[in-house]
Amino acid sequence: MKKIFPLLIAGVMTSLTLSAQDVLSVEDMNSVYKKEKHHNKIVQKYAPLRQADVMWSRKIWREIDLRQKINHAFYYPENTGEAGAAITGDRMSLIDVIYSAIQEGTITAYGNAVYDDEFRSPMTATEIKSIGGAVEEIREVTDMELVRQGVDIDLAKKTVAVKIPFNRNTVKKWRLKEEWFFDKQRSVMDVRIIGLAPLQENRDEITNKLTGGFSPLFWVHFPEAREVLINAEVFNLVKNDAERRTYDDIFWKRMFGSVIVREANVMDREVNEYMVGLDALLEAERIKAEIFNIEHDLWEY
């Protein structure tokens, strides 16, 4: 009996060890340590701000071009397959994170994005399904179409389900709406992002060729999106996987490259409506320098 008891204990411990190995998650199997840092992070709150504290403010719109090296973390990994599944499981591109949250109902998407960036038109479920040219409908087909597809006309149905997913790899830019302000209570020039919109390159309606222009697909309210972005991991461009950040960290620390495309003005026009090419870039730099000088001029030496 004394010999059997230790064997029973050893058997129980072995079975518990095997069962623990069986329940390992995919993430645990792909790392030598358990990652918990970016799963339960809480959004860092903004500093309190009263209207009486703001002595100067200006709204700015800027664009983040994902083709620039500093912004690659927003674009990769690309999607593959009809379902648009990400290649890696530990991180997703920014459009994947935002679009998935919209489909789940965690984030509200606002439509009429080309003309309205003030979040006045929440998108319906039908509109969400058609984002980026996606199609999900049942329509009738002609006999000629069936013949071209090599389908037997006698056996084929006249109605077919058409489903074309949203190709998220076509989002090559993001537009930010932000407000710069000077907080006299803290004596700092600060900025807060208000809205975020993915930009898709335009195509000619007849030839279906790219035109070179970009249009926003929808807008999301950034403070609402922060609840999702805070736990979405981003690749560290310094090549240190032990010190990855989240999308909220990237935006909070301004770790991206961008160009100003519009400032609040009486005619409500963008920079490219009155400047072209190099002049537009110089105008963007002028606006940025003006904001810096406003803060600089408030100090006395």
DSSP codes, 67-133: TSGGGHHHHPSPEETTTTEES-SS---HHHHHHHHHHHTSS-EE--TTT--SS--BPPHHHHHTGGG
Q: What pLDDT score was predicted for residue 34? A: 72
Averaged pLDDT, 109-115: 93
The pLDDT value recorded for residue 38 is 61
State the Cα–Cα distance between residues 216 and 175, nearest whole angstrom: 8
Report the C-alpha gap between 171 and 66 in whole angstroms: 8
DSSP letters, 191-237, are EEEEEEEEEEEEE-TTT--EEEEEEE--EEEHHHHHHHHTT-EE--T
What pLDDT does 161 receive?
A: 63
Lowest mean pLDDT among 29-33, 68-72, 235-239, 288-292: 29-33
Q: What is the pLDDT of residue 40?
A: 77
What is the predicted pLDDT for the residue at 19?
46
- For residues 289 and 19, which has the higher predicted lDDT (pLDDT)? 289
* Residues 154-212: tens digit of each pLDDT: 544 566 666 778 888 999 999 999 999 999 999 999 999 999 999 998 888 778 788 88
Q: What is the pLDDT of residues 124-152, one digit of tens each?
A: 998 998 898 887 766 666 666 655 656 55
Q: Is residue 225 very low, low, confident or very high in pLDDT (cuts 50, 70, 90)? A: very high
Is the model's pLDDT at 1 over the cut of 60?
Answer: no
Minimum mean pLDDT among 8-17, 43-52, 252-261: which range?
Answer: 8-17
Give the CA distances from residue 45 to residues 97, 126, 138, 255, 279, in Å, rounded to whole numbers and listed in that order: 21, 34, 46, 19, 38
- pLDDT interval class at 87 (50, 70, 90): low
The percentage of the chain sitting over the pLDDT mark of 70, rounded to a whole number, equals: 76
Q: What is the pLDDT of residues 62-86, one digit of tens each?
A: 999 999 999 999 998 887 754 445 5
